[in-house]
Amino acid sequence: MKFDTPATTNPIDQLKIIGHPTDRIDGPLKTTGSAPYAYERHDVVANQAYGVILGSAIAKGRIAAMDLAAAKAAPGVLAIVTAANAGPIAKAKSHTAKMLAGPDIQHYDQAIAIVVAETFEQARDGAKLIRVDYERAKGRFDLDAEMKAAPPKGDEESGSKPIERIGDFDGAFHAAPVKLDATYSTPAHSHAMMEPHATIAAWEGDTLTLWTSNQMIAWAVRDVSQTLMIPKEKIRIVSPYIGGGFGSKLWIRSDAIMAALAAKAAGRPVKVALARPQIANNTTHRPATIQRIRLGAAKDGKLTAIGHESWSGNLPQGGPETATAQTKLLYAGANRLTATRLAVLDLPEGNAMRAPGEASGLMALEIAMDEMAEKLGMDPIAFRIANDTQEDPNKPGRTFSYRNLIGCLQTGAEKFGWDKRQAKPASVRDGRWLVGMGVAAAFRNNMLTKSAARVRLSAKGIVTVETDMTDIGTGTYTIIAQTAAETMGIPLDHVVVSLGDSRFPVSAGSGGQWGANNSTAGVYAACMKLRETVAVKLGFNSADAVFSDGKVGTGNRHVSLASAAKDGEIVAEDAIEYGSLDKTYQQSTFGGHFVEVGVDAYTGQIRIRRMLAVCSAGRILNPKSARSQVIGAMTMGAGAALMEELAVDTRFGFFVNHDLAGYEVPVHGDIPHQEVIFLDETDPISSPMKAKGVGELGICGVAAAVANAIYNATGVRVRDYPITLDKHLEKLPAVA
């Protein structure tokens, strides 16, 4: 199905099932512990051995020698794989570092060996017996030290240039009567998902099957093919349930590649799970940033100059954190400068984490907007509204498909009680607590990508959907079932959904908040093709046939849907393919985040008291699971504001706090009350679903809203995240 004109009325608009808060159909499997996750697939292949990966103890240098003798002689050990005996192995184009290192080392904890044994304990003990002699080389581990020499670097995937100028930024900034020039920093973050990277690998002849935890099935097939240099046709990836990914599982990691190599060496299936400490250093992380923001405005609050420059670091051939992405589109202003610069760092690979670019960029931009509003003597919401725009600031005349940032801010202000906020910082007390409110805008682009599905109609009237789309805890099973049920006119319990298998048609996959809109649009396309086949078989004009209550009909004639398949299953397959609407219109999602905090006047302890998110993201397919997504994102944003930081040992080049004891994430007690409001809207330019995405929008701007609330409560402005006691305690107002 080609989608190249705005959607008109279609079966989804019936809203009999779509748009209703629906319990997740996979919920019973999750709550009973019977959902099959990768490492627990005892049912798929017999005689599984265990693999444990040994990571490099240095961050940069070479392996001089490896002594495997003691490990080979250890009880239960079946095989050991290193670069010396693994056979030909390459680096996939999407990987920055090799999945198996040797003799050269690119980063700390990079996989250098895997030990296979009968039990996990035997494999773990065997790995500890490997003796490695290293030749350590000098590395670069400190972004602050390397930023001055960092060259401009654009983002090849999005096509953004290293430096982009519109108008005369320098002249406009110099002439502006009101200016802000401030620098902000964000640290490296770990995904810290509940399920670690895990894989079971099995070979049958020259065919490889991986039961793995992965967000993008087709990407996984491609990357395994490139790494192991075997045809895609010889690879099967299965990933029906994923316990969180947040971007770390967009690409195959060392657990999958090492499991495949180990299974071949051992001659039997091998299962591998990365230990929690390996996730921070062996896989990927959100890169740290240093961001300089310059704003110039007229006295009436209109921005005349917007400048945003960002520095981040990565391994050679890696990409930058695109922290300036939202600044190109969020606010009006004729004179603009954005720039990204990339330092070479010998730290583990930096890559996508929930809302890559915008999450980090809005942590800085939305504090800067608050600081500028204060300089102007304007309310922060009024300042943002004054600089709203309905067209792409970089491409005048190119309008947004649908933009309601003002509605988000105004609705949030009313519901949150913004009128009770005191503009003067440190002026509200509740006992020993200093109380403040903060706001920030949220922004995330809506991305479109081809997505396919196959649907089957049985003689019992059951519709089965097959697509390689994944469910990373987001509720994909349910919204796909809702889409099929709505389109085919059947109850939700008459739909069976099968996901996460490379044998199925290639979908959008889960990531970038593009999954829900694109994958359901692909299912819709397949169902519409099935409707055509059914209508013709039952003697109806497909354009006039109505599918409702398990029947197909026109006028006074109605026939059961099931009867169409009485002679055999009917199968249809199709994909949603987009035209040029996304080039004609700028498609984005918007939101407003509101936060109230309390800061202990004596100890400086920060407590979030309440949070509100208002989202403008097209049609909400399932408000119940969408709310959960936003609440989870808000919680991650709070963590970024107050506690999350991968601490770098700049002497030896690794993340020190590589477990959940040292890398702190929010818990229930940190987030006492959250509310989410979805604006009632559709975007017919996006897809037949008229939906967008919301899973990443929910984190964008949250940290800045927390930071702005802390400033309002205390009068202390902190520009370096996370906002911890050492950064504001000594500056708190004197206690009377």
Query: Nearest-CA neighbor of 214 among 499, 514, 483?
Result: 499
643 by Cβ neighbours in 10 Å (0-12 / 13-18 / 19+) ranks as middle
387, 392, 395, 398: CA torsion to nearest 10: -130
What does the alpha-carbon distance between residue 44 and residue 53 come to, in Å, rounded to a whole number? 23
382 by Cβ neighbours in 10 Å (0-12 / 13-18 / 19+) ranks as middle
Tokens of 707: 């930071």
What does the alpha-carbon distance between residue 376 and residue 302 come to, in Å, rounded to a whole number? 10
DSSP secondary structure of 102-139: -SEE-STT-EEEEEEESSHHHHHHHHHT-EEEEEE---
- The answer to whether the CB of 549 falls within 8 A of the CB of 589 is no
Tokens of 715: 């009068």
**Residue owning tokens 């059961």:** 560
Strand order in the sheet with 429-430: 429-430, 433-445, 588-600, 606-616, 674-678
118 counts as catalytic = no
- The answer to whether the CB of 245 falls within 8 A of the CB of 197 is no
Q: What number of CA atoms fall less than 13 Å from residue 183's CA on the CB side?
A: 5
For the beta carbon of residue 96, count every other beta carbon within 10 angstroms: 20
Q: What number of CA atoms fall less than 13 Å from residue 535's CA on the CB side?
A: 18
In the set 371, 486, 596, 696, the catalytic residue is 696
Query: Nearest-CA neighbor of 438 among 188, 606, 604, 668?
Result: 606
- The answer to whether the CB of 48 falls within 8 A of the CB of 209 is no
For residue 259, CA distances in Å to 74, 104, 109, 162, 264 come to 20, 21, 17, 38, 9
DSSP H helical segments within 251-355, as ranges? 254-266, 276-282
* Strand-pair partners of 208: 203, 235
Query: Nearest-CA neighbor of 401 among 623, 682, 621?
Result: 682
What does the alpha-carbon distance between residue 646 and residue 659 come to, in Å, rounded to a whole number? 10
Query: Nearest-CA neighbor of 440 among 588, 614, 181?
Result: 614
Q: What's the residue count for the chain?
A: 736
Burial 516-530 (b: 16+ CB within 10 A, else e): bbbbbbbbbbbbbbb
Element (H, E) at 412: helix 405-416
Q: Which residues are catalytic?
A: 696
